[in-house]
């Protein structure tokens, strides 16, 4: 065993007998114990060895079944059990293994997966992906940790030990969901890298249509966030065609909802209203509360964008009832954001400001920078209308930092232009208010919309 390099799980098992007999050199013992202290699976293995030795001390060989004798010999020789045998003997379900991994740092998780066969599990990878997708709208940072772990697990799987194409498909899905988590967390560069990798992988997988549709749909959401609406709609159209082909009605409705949301974001709210009304009945028929909520939320948002605030207001009671069922913090904060925009349309600026401040602080706490920047633009609109120069300049300085860091390049130029103009304000004049208002409107259109409620989160 090398004393200059970290010990692997295989090396740990090779020298466990020497360790127990105190026959290791001091440097090797220190390396062994360092690995033991940070590797849960090897701690379990060592404990089982010790228990085995204690059991043998009180047993006669002729009292053991042949199967138990073979098991103990294999264990003592350090060959180690297979993934299923280890997990069965330790009573570890995928849920328990995921919980075990998540108690360690991201770096330690990588090491544990790479060095232990028990974590190289398709079921564990799927569980991490499902949990990560479920958490996307509630806790983006935790969702990213889970989907990143799923990528590590998927990359550790050996293709030759599983059905052809399965590992490639799982890796494609893992990268796609990691990219989606990155997008929600405002890391658009990381999202693009992960989704590009997912797109590469589906071309060499098993041709699983469901995986292909997932990648296309999530790629479409990223393109929309980057304001590449032509590419976004092409990807979403492909996903909808595939979901219809395989008869997945729920995903047809979900992806159509995402399409409608981006129709509103791209300046076509009337088209979005029509699209959402077409899928409302189908969404309710599926009896998935969050899906029904998302359709109504986006319908209200699109109606507000069309200047039909009274119609939007009529949807609010049903939306509030669904929030009581779903209890999703991010969904609720986006609804408050929408309420703020409706309040602005009704000239209830004080109410709107309170809502926008609450929404902004929530996104600051969640480290969702893109949404912080967007709701800040709404706040800036209130300060501009009220001639509050000091608050406008302070907010503009803050937004300048955020938009500069978002790396959406030309899409944020209008927002940056507004921020710089606002910082130069010394006294409000009618002409300056008009100029800034035009600049702000352009910035709001170009920077994107965060009020919509997406089921891709």
Q: For residue range 351-407, list pLDDT tens digits in order.
A: 999 999 999 999 888 878 778 878 888 888 898 888 888 888 888 778 777 766 655
CA atoms within 13 A on the CB side of 34: 13
CA distance 9 to 112: 9
Do 112 and 190 fall into the same domain? yes
The pLDDT assigned to 238 comes to 97
Which CA distances in Å does 170 have to 125, 147, 272? 8, 12, 33
* Domain-located, residue 329: no
Do 381 and 421 fall into the same domain? yes
Spell out the per-residue pLDDT of the chain, length 457, in tens.
544 456 777 778 778 777 887 888 888 888 888 888 877 778 877 877 776 665 555 444 455 455 554 554 454 444 444 444 444 444 578 999 999 999 999 999 998 998 888 899 999 999 999 999 988 767 888 999 999 999 999 999 988 878 878 999 999 999 999 999 998 887 889 999 999 999 999 988 888 999 999 999 999 999 988 889 999 999 999 999 999 999 999 999 999 999 998 998 888 999 999 999 999 999 999 999 999 999 999 999 999 888 899 999 999 999 999 999 999 888 999 999 999 989 998 899 999 999 999 999 998 888 787 788 788 888 888 988 888 888 888 887 787 777 666 554 444 445 555 656 665 656 555 455 555 555 555 545 544 455 666 654 4
* Domain-located, residue 373: yes
The pLDDT assigned to 98 comes to 94
Do 107 and 194 fall into the same domain? yes
CA distance 174 to 113: 15
Given 155, 185, 207, the domain boundary residue is 207
CA atoms within 13 A on the CB side of 352: 22
Q: For residue range 197-222, list pLDDT tens digits in order.
A: 999 999 888 889 999 999 999 999 99
Do 356 and 452 fall into the same domain? yes
Do 386 and 358 fall into the same domain? yes
Do 198 and 107 fall into the same domain? yes
The pLDDT assigned to 164 comes to 79
The pLDDT assigned to 441 comes to 55
By residue range, what is the domain housing residue 448? 350-457
Do 76 and 98 fall into the same domain? no
* Domain-located, residue 278: no
The pLDDT assigned to 451 comes to 62
* Domain-located, residue 456: yes
pLDDT over 90 for what percent of the chain? 45
The pLDDT assigned to 369 comes to 77
The domain total for the chain is 3
* Domain-located, residue 280: no
Do 68 and 100 fall into the same domain? no
Which CA distances in Å does 225 have to 232, 361, 380? 9, 21, 21
Number of CB atoms found within 10 A of residue 445's CB? 15
Given 207, 233, 255, the domain boundary residue is 207
- pTM for the whole structure: 0.68
């Amino acid at each position: 065993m090398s004393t200059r390099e970290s010990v692997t799980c295989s090396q740990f098992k090779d020298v466990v007998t020497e360790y127990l007999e105190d026959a290791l050199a001091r440097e090797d013992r220190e390396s062994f114990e360092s690995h033991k202290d940070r590797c849960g699976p090897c701690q379990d293995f060592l404990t089982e060895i010790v228990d085995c030795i204690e059991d043998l001390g009180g047993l006669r060989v002729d009292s053991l079944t042949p199967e138990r004798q073979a098991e103990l010999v294999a264990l003592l020789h350090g060959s180690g059990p297979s993934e299923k045998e280890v997990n069965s003997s330790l009573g570890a379900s995928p849920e328990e293994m995921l919980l075990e991994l998540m108690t360690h740092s991201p770096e330690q998780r990588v090491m544990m997966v790479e060095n232990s066969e028990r974590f190289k599990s398709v079921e564990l990878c799927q569980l991490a992906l499902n949990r990560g997708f479920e958490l996307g709208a509630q806790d983006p940072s935790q969702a990213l940790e889970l989907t990143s772990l799923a990528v590590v697990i998927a990359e550790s799987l050996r293709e030759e030990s599983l059905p052809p194409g399965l590992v490639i498909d799982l890796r494609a899905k893992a990268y796609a969901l990691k990219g989606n988590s990155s997008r929600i967390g405002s890391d658009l560069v990381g999202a693009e890298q992960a989704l590009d990798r997912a797109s590469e992988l589906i071309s060499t997988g098993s041709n699983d249509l469901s995986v292909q549709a997932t990648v296309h749909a999530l790629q479409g959401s990223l393109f929309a966030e980057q304001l590449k609406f032509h590419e976004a709609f092409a990807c979403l159209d492909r996903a909808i065609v595939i979901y219809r082909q395989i008869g997945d009605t729920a995903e047809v409705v979900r992806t159509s909802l995402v399409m409608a949301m981006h129709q509103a974001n791209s300046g076509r709210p009337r088209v979005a209203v029509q699209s959402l009304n077409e899928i409302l009945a189908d969404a309710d028929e599926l009896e998935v509360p969050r899906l029904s909520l998302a359709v109504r939320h986006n319908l209200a948002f699109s109606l507000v964008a069309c200047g039909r605030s009274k119609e939007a207001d009529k949807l609010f009671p049903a939306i509030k009832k669904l929030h009581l069922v779903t209890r999703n913090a991010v969904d609720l904060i986006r609804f408050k954001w929408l309420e703020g925009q409706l309040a602005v349309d009704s000239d209830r600026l004080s109410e709107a400001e309170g809502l926008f401040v609450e929404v902004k602080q929530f996104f600051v706490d969640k480290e969702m920078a893109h949404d912080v920047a967007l709701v800040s633009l709404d706040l800036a609109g209130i300060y501009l209308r009220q001639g509050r120069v000091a608050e406008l300049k302070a907010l503009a300085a803050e937004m300048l930092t955020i938009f500069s860091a978002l790396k959406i390049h030309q899409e944020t130029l209008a927002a940056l232009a507004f921020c710089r103009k606002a910082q130069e304000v010394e006294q409000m004049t009618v002409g300056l208010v008009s100029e800034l208002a035009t600049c702000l409107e352009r910035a709001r259109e170009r920077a994107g919309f965060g009020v919509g409620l997406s089921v891709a989160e």
